[in-house]
Structures are given as C-alpha cells and as structure tokens.
C-alpha cells in the first residue's frame, strides 16, 4: 500500500499538472470504486482544481466549489498520467479524471476492488475521512506528543506504527525501515520502552520519512511516478528476507501473518533472538529456534 512518501510524491507530481486546471469529466470504470452518493461526481465537473492534500494514505483533490475527490489507493491501486482523453479500458482501469492537459487514471491490479473514490464537501467532509493519527511533520508533533500517541494503548511497535488512528501515513513497508533504523524490535511493547528508545524511534521516524519523501519527489520531477512499490532495492530490511542486513551483515528474518510480513534484523533489533513466525512455530512447536545459531543449525539438518 502506498504510504506517506509515495502519496507525497504523487501529490508533488500532480500539483504542476492539476492546479488551476478544470476537471472536465469524471469517468468510472467500475461501479465499486465510488463509495458515496452525495455530492455526485458531476458536482466537481467544470470546476478548477485549487488544492491537493494528503489525508493519511489518501489523496484529496479540491475544486473551486469546495467539493473534494478523495482517492484511497489501498494495496494495489496506482495513479497514471495519460494524454487527454485516454481510454478507460481493460479490467484494471477503474477511474479517469479528465483535464484539458491530460487524464489522471486510477488502476487496480488483481480481482479485489479495494481502491475507492469518496466525494465530500468542505473541511468537515475531509475531517470525516481522516483516521485521526498524528502527523509526524506537524509543528505540534514533538517527542512527547509522539510518545503519548503510541502509549495511549499498550501494543507492539509494529502495530502502533501502522495504525492510522495513531500515526498518519505509515504502513507495513516504512514501519519495518523505521524500526530497523531505530534498532528496535517490532514486537517491543510501547509502554515498556526506555526514554532513549523513544528518542531513537522519534528521530528515525522523522528522518526516514523525510529522506524517502524527498527522494521520491525528486524522481517525480523527472517523470510521473509510475513505479510506486513497497519493495525498493535501497530498503534495509523490508522485503529482504534471507538477505544480509546492510548494517551488520546478519540474515534478515521475517514474521508472516495474514497477507503481510514483518522483516527485521535479529542482531540489530532483537538482541540475536529469532522471533517466532506464527505458521512455522505452530509446525515446529518446542523445536522453534530461538537464536540465529539455532536457526542456522536447523537449516543444516
């Protein structure tokens, strides 16, 4: 799922293309993409784009009559900038926004239709779309307010970082990278962290999201960001299971659950302990390896 740096890159690329342009037509390629009935999509047609905003992991496009089109890409949704009047063809094309200078096309891979368009009016409508997590770059987000948000309930760091009601815009990929940079276990409990842990986590969250946002925005200045992915070669641990940690060289491990997995370095983050992978630990029971040494010995059998 595109996260804060990816959404910021999309918005940065769209600002030069959409601001001041009149939205001529909204075309739906799937009946399921539109999740609201009032205002209708026609309420935005014939009006100029005046603002673009990020609302969590959503992209909000505002026009001059205070109507907003709020797009949530979910896991497989991606945006594309096409020549004006581009066809809304193929099973993956689900939404087109037509302008005189081009067409913004939303596609979604796979059979599940999770990406969405919500039409809302005004600031109140936008607030209702916001899950409520703190904005890490907001002027009033300090180390203390960051810690307060994450300790309101006692959960693992991985769960708290990816909860949109706690922190805005962070998901599976960047949470792995943040925790690796901060040298913290994804299963550490938020209410048990030491002051120095909070300092590293806060600094890592800000610096990593800043670095990736700036990097992706620079790439988007050369060409529209067509290859938005959760698996980037420059990542330290996310998607790098079985590869060496760039910091210490030990093998990156994973915890798999549902459709997701958490990647981490056992040396840098968990004191050498291998965290139990739910599916494998059920199979191996008491034989589940607790250290890297035990894991390597198991592989040699």
Band (285; pLDDT cuts 50, 70, 90): very low
Choice between 282 and 117, residue whose per-residue pLDDT is larger: 117
Locate the domains of the chain by residue range.
4-129, 143-300
Evaluate the CA torsion angle 18, 3, 54, 88 in order and state its sign.
positive
pLDDT over threshold 60, residue 299: no
Q: How far apart are CA 55 and CA 49, in angstroms?
A: 17
* Domain 143-300 class in CATH: mainly alpha
Could you tell me the two tokens for 62?
């505002």
What does the pLDDT look like over 150-171, one tens digit per residue? 999 999 999 999 999 999 999 9
What does the pLDDT look like over 229-263, one tens digit per residue? 989 999 999 999 999 999 999 999 998 876 678 99
pLDDT score, position 294:
45
Domains 4-129 and 143-300 agree in fold: no
| Nearest alpha-carbon partner for 58 in 152, 131, 158 | 131
Angle, helices 4-18/195-222, rounded to nearest 10 degrees: 30
Q: How far apart are CA 27 and CA 192, in angstroms?
A: 50
What does the pLDDT look like over 4-35, one tens digit per residue? 999 999 999 999 999 999 999 999 998 899 99
pLDDT score, position 275:
86
Q: What would the mean pLDDT of 276-301 be, rounded to a whole number?
A: 45
Q: Model-level pTM?
A: 0.90
DSSP structural state of residue 106: E
Evaluate the CA torsion angle 172, 219, 102, 43 in order and state its sign.
positive
The CATH number of the structural domain formed by 4-129 is: 3.20.190.10
What does the pLDDT look like over 76-105, one tens digit per residue? 999 999 999 999 988 899 999 999 999 999
């Amino acid at each position: 799922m595109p996260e804060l740096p990816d959404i910021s890159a999309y918005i940065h690329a769209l600002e030069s293309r959409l601001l001041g342009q009149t939205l001529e037509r909204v075309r739906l390629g799937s009946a399921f993409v539109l999740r609201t009935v009032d205002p209708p999509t026609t309420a935005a047609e014939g009006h100029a784009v005046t603002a673009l905003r990020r609302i969590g992991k959503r992209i909000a496009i505002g026009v001059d009559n205070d109507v907003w089109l709020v797009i949530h890409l979910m896991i497989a949704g991606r945006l594309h900038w096409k020549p004006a009047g581009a066809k809304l063809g193929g099973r993956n094309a689900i939404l087109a926004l037509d302008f005189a200078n081009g067409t913004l096309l939303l596609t979604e891979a796979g059979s599940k239709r999770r990406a969405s368009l919500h039409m809302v009016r005004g600031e109140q409508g936008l607030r209702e779309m916001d899950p409520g997590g703190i904005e890490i770059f907001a002027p009033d987000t300090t180390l203390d307010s960051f810690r307060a948000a994450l300790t309101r309930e006692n959960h693992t760091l991985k769960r708290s970082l990816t909860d949109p009601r706690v922190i805005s815009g962070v998901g599976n990929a960047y949470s792995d990278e943040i925790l690796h940079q901060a040298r913290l276990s994804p299963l550490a409990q938020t209410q048990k962290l030491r002051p120095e842990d909070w300092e590293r986590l806060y600094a890592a969250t800000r610096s990593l999201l800043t670095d990736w946002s700036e990097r992706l925005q620079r790439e988007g200045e050369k060409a529209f960001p067509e290859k938005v992915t959760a698996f980037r070669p420059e990542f330290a641990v996310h998607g790098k299971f079985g590869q060496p940690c760039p910091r210490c060289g030990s093998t990156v491990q994973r915890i798999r659950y549902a459709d997701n997995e958490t990647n981490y370095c056992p040396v840098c983050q968990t004191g050498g302990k291998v965290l139990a992978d739910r599916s494998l630990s059920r199979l191996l029971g008491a034989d589940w390896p607790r250290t890297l040494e035990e894991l390597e010995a198991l592989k040699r059998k």
